[in-house]
Amino acid sequence: MKRITWDQFFMAQSHLLALRSTCTRLAVGATIVRDRRIMAGGYNGSISGGDHCIDKGCYVVDNHCVRTIHAEMNALLQCAKYGVSVNGADMYVSHFPCLQCTKSIIQAGISRLYYAADYKNHEYAIELLEQANVEVIQVVFDERMIDFLSVEKTALYMELIEKLGAKGASEEELSYYKERVKELFGELLV
């Protein structure tokens, strides 16, 4: 197994945090890092003890859910709550931040913003990040890397493909299934 980079590691952390999201529209995770150490993490969800979108539905006003606190804000607020400065730190986010989160990221003193997926990238947010000299880096991240059962799943699929071959499936048919396994799980065992 190939060792992942630090950027992939912190992005994986953000994707794991996104699994805690209570938003039904988009699950987002954010991780704040300094000197390769995780300082805080957040996901998009409701205030502590409040109603969650997964339970009560989204509370949408002007196309925005007002019930939800964004992942970036939750990570920044966690640091504020416990008195941890983020000045000069890095932030890893599963999706490009909205305009309001971008402004908070800049004001908090984040130096580098890493993100995995484009998501409604606001032109003014990009402009503000440039003005503030916040380095913005897109990290190519394959979410399949955090599937802890991918090796077992791939082995099962390959075993089934072999059994199909033994039962007389054509090479064309087998190639199709092998290609689908490769698409789903990468180059693991194919």
Active site residues: 72
How far is residue 114's CA from residue 107's CA, in Å, rounded to a whole number?
17
Q: What is the DSSP string of the chain?
A: -PPPPHHHHHHHHHHHHHTT---SS---EEEEEETTEEEEEEESBPPTTS--HHHH---EETTEETTPBPHHHHHHHHHHHTT---TT-EEEEEEPPPHHHHHHHHHHT--EEEEEE--S--HHHHHHHHHTT-EEEEPP--GGGG-TTHHHHHHHHHHHHHHHHHTT--HHHHHHHHHHHHHHHTTS--
